[in-house]
Amino acid sequence: MTRTRFHQGLDHLKESLLTMGGMVESSLEQAVRAYRERDQALAQKVLEREASINLAERDIDQLALDLLAMQQPMAVDLRFILAVIKSNSDLERMGDQAENIAQRALEVSALPPLELAFDLARMAALSMQMLREALDAFVAEDPDAAQRVLLADDEVDQINDEAFEAVQRAIRRNPDQTRQALDALVVARNLERVADHATNIAEDVIFWTRGADVRHRANTATND
C-alpha cells in the first residue's frame, strides 16, 4: 500500500464526511421548515432520510478504521482521522435532532399555531449557518474560519434562554396552548444542540489543523 493510495483514502474519507454533512444540513433545513409551516409530508421525508444518515455514519467509521489499519499514519493524518471520527458522530447526532424536530412538526400540525416571543427562525438560521461554516472550514482546512464558528454559539444560547422565558409567559397567558409552547421549547433545545455539535466540529477542525486542543478553552479563545 503506497503513501499515495493512503492519501487518496484520506481524500475519500473527507468527501464522505462532506456528503454526510450535506444530508444532515438538508434534513435540518427541511425539519425546521416542516415545523414552521406545519408541513407533514416534509416532516415525513426527514424521518425517511434518517436511515441513510445512520448508514453513512457507519461507512465513514469503517473507512477511518481501514485507513488506520493500512499503515502507520503521520501525526497530522492521525489528527485528521480523529477529527473525522468525531465530526461524523456529531453529524449523526444532528441528524437525530432533525428527526426530533420533524416528530414535533407532525405532532403540532393539528394544533392552532402559537406566537412566541423568541426568534426561532433566527435560532434555526444561526445554528444551520454554524454547521455550514464548520463544514466549509473543514474543506478549507482553515482554523481561523473554524474559530469564527465558535463565536455564533453564544447568540444561539442566548435565544435558547429567551425561549425558556417566552414559553413560561406564553403558558401563563394561554394555558390551553401549553402543548404547543412545550413543543416550541423542545425544538429550541434541539436547535441549541445543533449549534453545540457545529461547535464541536469547528473545534475538531482547529485541533486537526493546528494540533492544539481548543475544546473547553473556547471561551478563553474567543475573548482574545
Residues forming contacts to a copy of itself in the complex (CB under 8 A) are: 51, 54-55, 57-58, 61-62, 64-65, 68-69, 71-73, 75, 78-79, 82, 85-86, 89, 164, 167-168, 171-172, 175-176, 178-179, 182, 185-186, 189, 213, 215-216
CB of 11 to a copy of itself, least distance (A): 20
**Residue 41 or 176: which CB sits closer to a copy of itself?**
176
> What does the alpha-carbon distance between residue 14 and residue 127 come to, in Å, rounded to a whole number?
22
CB of 102 to a copy of itself, least distance (A): 17
**Residue 12 or 172: which CB sits closer to a copy of itself?**
172
CB of 164 to a copy of itself, least distance (A): 7
The C-alpha cell at 4 is 499515495
**Pick from 197, 200, 194, 205: nearest CA to 215:** 200
Collapsed DSSP state (helix, strand, coil) of residue 160? helix
> What does the alpha-carbon distance between residue 77 and residue 81 come to, in Å, rounded to a whole number?
6
CB of 119 to a copy of itself, least distance (A): 19
**Residue 25 or 50: which CB sits closer to a copy of itself?**
50
For residue 109, give Cα distances in angstroms to 115, 200, 215. Answer: 15, 32, 39
**Residue 133 or 183: which CB sits closer to a copy of itself?**
183
Gyration radius (Cα) of the chain, Å: 19
**Residue 41 or 216: which CB sits closer to a copy of itself?**
216
**Pick from 214, 76, 54, 90: nearest CA to 148:** 214
CB of 213 to a copy of itself, least distance (A): 5
Count how many residues are written for the chain.
Answer: 224
